[in-house]
Amino acid sequence: MEKFDKHSGLVVPLDRHNVDTDAIIPKQFLKSIKRSGFGPNLFDEWRYHDHGEPGMDHSLRKENPDFILNHPRYRGANILLARHNFGCGSSREHAVWALLDHGIRVILAPSFADIFFNNCFKNGVLPIVLDEEIIDRLFTDVDAAEGYQMTVDLPAQQIHLHDGEVLSFEVDPFRKDCHIRGLDDIGLTLEHAAEIRGFEEKHRETAPWLFDKTS
Amino acid sequence: MSNKTLYDKLWDSHLVREDEHGTGLIYIDRHLIHEVTSPQAFEGLRIAGRKPWRTDSILAVPDHNVPTTRRDEGIADPVSRIQVETLDQNCAELGITEFLMNDPRQGIVHVIGPEQGATLPGMTVVCGDSHTSTHGAFGALAFGIGTSDVEHVLATQCLIMKKSRNFEVRVEGQLVPGVSAKDVVLAIIGEIGTAGGTGCSIEFTGSTMQGLSMEGRMTVCNMAIEAGARAGMVAVDETTINYLANRPYAPAGELWNRAVASWAQLHSDPGAVFDRTVLLDAATLEPQVTWGTSPEMVLPVGGLIPDPDREPDNIKREGIHKALAYMDLQPGMAITDIRPDHVFIGSCTNARIEDLRAAAGAVRGRKVADSIKQALVVPGSGLVKRQAESEGLDEVFKTAGFEWREPGCSMCLAMNADRLEPGDRCASTSNRNFEGRQGQGGRTHLVSPAMAAAAAVTGHFSDIRKEQD
């Protein structure tokens, strides 16, 4: 996983509640057996006028100029400002892969769906929960100032806004550490392999039927 | 020791370790795998030179991409075919049990786990699929995970996670005939919203839940994720035990007796404290129909499409406007005036034998309306299909004009060839009415199996309680 320290960039606002992972990456693109290449199909059904399928040359497709990511002023944005319950629905990690592949490294919202939130941390994307009033204000400010940029400082847990104001945010200490150091959490868990084996042995004694099948 | 919720007990009995910040390492008993969310996990394992920790905890099945017609011809779409073949290769190489596409036991992963007895009370069950909450119906802690966590479980048999909050949804009273488990869960989502359960595990309690069959309980737990809760669960009782007895993967003999004795603990203790409790009165519930593009956009069948201009919240108002435009519906329109042109009976929510019986009951002796372009019945598994055929349900459907298909996820998410075209309107027994979910531009109304069947024969949504009079 790519390390995450400080991140600066242009902010794009997606003013919609309950953005689901089907919208973030439609099902036909889940047939890929790879982790990369999903960027051109991020928000595919909102972003293009035609129907997208894997294997198409997406650069030749007709974009929907009304969709916010296609507005010239938001091209190249890598921080996404979102609304309640972002990433709800399907567990597909492809949604995070698509955001990351498109260049999004930070998502700000008043709330996230649990599985999506967790998937972000596995891929070097930082989801930040902020109070609804702050999110409301950011939507207004981003709309008002073309080229609105911010800097997210994960070690300090601070966001430096366009006008110089500094906001604080909360993040789980374990996840913060993994993010900053770009750690593979499987490796971390395997450091406790002996403890897992010990647990497994006791568990097998207490509930042997859980170890009865399937092979 | 006392006053624990069911979730507390399941968490405590699987906690390997906990760090100073309260992050736990949780042991996983059962890992269910399908073709869509596993290939990158197996690849990651291979690249890192790691092996699966415990292959006998894994059961794999292809379900999302499989065709529901002409299985003998294989999978026509080359991209889908590669994904299923990749699962087959990974399982063969690593010695993982897989029900192949043409195995009579193949089906939707959340149907076959319980059907085989591979889902047991007291287990932790995970799958790279959000509807894993289904298995909580057995007094298990079951939840969906992303692909990185699929790899994590493969490599370590554990997951790193924080304990969630305890949320009780208590449903009391007798359901009116024609009102089903699907209506109960849709009404719950309508009440608490699609983010109502975020950060929580929901335990469904009360006399209504106790009165539901395992199929009904699975339908309710299945849609816990549609209320934002990763896990939904129901306490173990006699209904649970009776369902599991003699299932192929369930314990037998002395081990069965020991297991049953231990499962008696799998309920919330009297006086256990929940962070939140919501009560519903089952007797007042009507059949439900979703009208929008989120499962919380739901109304009783007697309702009228809402007027966005009466919604005070700006964002919500805009959301209703967008949903009505997408669904091509007008404020004030009666739900019963909505005319679907497709009917889909299937999915991990509603494709078990009881669902097919309920749907067949509303169809028997009648014909699919002329205005319906396609009516599909997709059983949840090969065994469900066989059982339905032995009861003659397939004939009931076929005589009425339904297509009787092979098992899989099918038009719930349209990854295979079964999909809506732009503008199509579907009465669906599935779980998500998101934009484009059943095919780009398709419009989905979520309903129970009996309500979907009634819509097929009348050509519009109708109150199944009256249809049954």
* A114: chain B residues, CB-CB within 8 Å: 164, 198-199, 228, 230
Which residue is closest to B120 within chain A, CA to CA? Answer: A210
SS3 annotation, chain B: CCCCCHHHHHHHCCEEEECCCCEEEEECCEEEECCCCCHHHHHHHHHCCCCCCCHHHEEECCCCCCCCCCHHHCCCCHHHHHHHHHHHHHHHHHCCEECCCCCCCCECHHHHHHHHCCCCCCCEEEECCHHHHHHHHHCCEEEECCHHHHHHHHHHCEEEEECCEEEEEEEECCCCCCCCHHHHHHHHHHHHCCCCCCCEEEEEECHHHHHCCHHHHHHHHHHHHHHCCCEEECCCCHHHHHHHCCCCCCCCHHHHHHHHHHHCCCCCCCCCCCCEEEEEEHHHCCCEEECCCCCCCEEECCCECCCHHHCCCHHHHHHHHHHHHHHCCCCCCEHHHCCCCEEEECCCCCCCHHHHHHHHHHHCCCCCCCCCCEEEECCCEHHHHHHHHHCCHHHHHHHHCCEECCCCCHHHCCCCCCCCCCCCEEEECCCCCCCCCCCCCCEEEECCHHHHHHHHHHCCCCCHHHHCC
SS3 annotation, chain A: CCCCCEEEEEEEECCCCCCEHHHHCCHHHHHCCCCCCCHHHCCHHHHECCCCCCCCCHHHCCECCCCHHHCHHHCCCCEEECCCCECECCCCCHHHHHHHHHCCCEEEECCECHHHHHHHHCCCCEEEECCHHHHHHHHHHHHHCCCCEEEEECCCCEEECCCCCEEECCCCHHHHHHHHHCCCHHHHHHCCHHHHHHHHHHHHHHCHHHHCCCC
Q: What is the pLDDT of residue A1?
A: 82
Q: How far apart are CA B63 and CA A75, in angstroms?
A: 38
Q: How many CB pairs under 8 A join A and B?
A: 206
Percentage of residues in chain A with pLDDT exceeding 70?
99
Which residue is closest to A45 within chain B, CA to CA? Answer: B440
How far off is chain B from A90, nearest CA to CA, in Å?
A: 5
Contact B123, B233 (CB under 8 A): no
Residue A152 makes CB contacts below 8 A (sequence gap 6+) with A6, A7, A8, A79, A106, A126, A128, A158, A159, A160
CB contact under 8 A, B146 and A200: no
Which residue is closest to A91 within chain B, CA to CA? Answer: B130
Q: What is the pLDDT of residue A2?
A: 82
pLDDT by residue for chain B (469 residues), tens only, comes to 579 999 999 999 999 999 999 999 999 999 999 999 999 999 999 999 999 999 999 999 999 999 999 999 999 999 999 999 999 999 999 999 999 999 999 999 999 999 999 999 999 999 999 999 999 999 999 999 999 999 999 999 999 999 999 999 999 999 999 999 999 999 999 999 999 999 999 999 999 999 999 999 999 999 999 999 999 999 999 999 999 999 999 999 999 999 999 999 999 999 999 999 999 999 999 999 999 999 999 999 999 999 999 999 988 899 999 999 999 999 999 999 999 999 999 999 999 999 999 999 999 999 999 999 999 999 999 999 999 999 999 999 999 999 999 999 999 999 999 999 999 999 999 999 999 999 999 999 999 999 999 999 999 999 999 876 4
Which of B123, B160, B198 shows the shortest C-beta gap to A185? B160
Q: Which amino acid is at B324?
A: L
Q: How confident is the model at residue A213 (pLDDT cuts 50, 70, 90)?
A: low
Q: What is the pLDDT of residue A184?
A: 84
Q: How far apart are CA B149 and CA A115, in angstroms?
A: 10
CB contact under 8 A, B152 and A30: no
Which of A83, A192, A214 shows the shortest C-beta gap to B25? A192
* A22: chain B residues, CB-CB within 8 Å: 413, 432, 434-437
Which of B13, B55, B195 shows the shortest C-beta gap to A84? B195
Tell me phi and psi for residue A80, to 5 degrees.
-105, 125
Q: How confident is the model at residue A212 (pLDDT cuts 50, 70, 90)?
A: confident
Which of B82, B161, B322 shows the shortest C-beta gap to A33? B82
* B315: chain A residues, CB-CB within 8 Å: 15-17, 83-84
Residue A16 makes CB contacts below 8 A (sequence gap 6+) with A82, A83, B315, B318, B319, B322
Residue A214 above 60 pLDDT? no
Which of A18, A83, A92 shows the shortest C-beta gap to B37? A92
Q: What is the pLDDT of residue B212?
A: 98
Q: How far apart are CA B197 and CA B189, in angstroms?
A: 9
Contact B401, B429 (CB under 8 A): no
- Reported ipTM: 0.95
Q: How far apart are CA B133 and CA B164, in angstroms?
A: 14
CB contact under 8 A, A115 and B130: yes
User: For an interface test with A, which of B147, B162, B201, B230 has the most A Cβ atoms less than 10 Å from its Cβ?
Assistant: B147
Contact A96, A120 (CB under 8 A): yes
Which of A34, A51, A196 shows the shortest C-beta gap to B440? A51
C-alpha pair distances (Å), A189 with each of A38, A198, B21, B159, B164: 29, 14, 16, 8, 20
CB contact under 8 A, B156 and A15: no
CB contact under 8 A, A174 and B23: yes
Q: What is the pLDDT of residue B1?
A: 52
Q: What is the pLDDT of residue A215?
A: 41
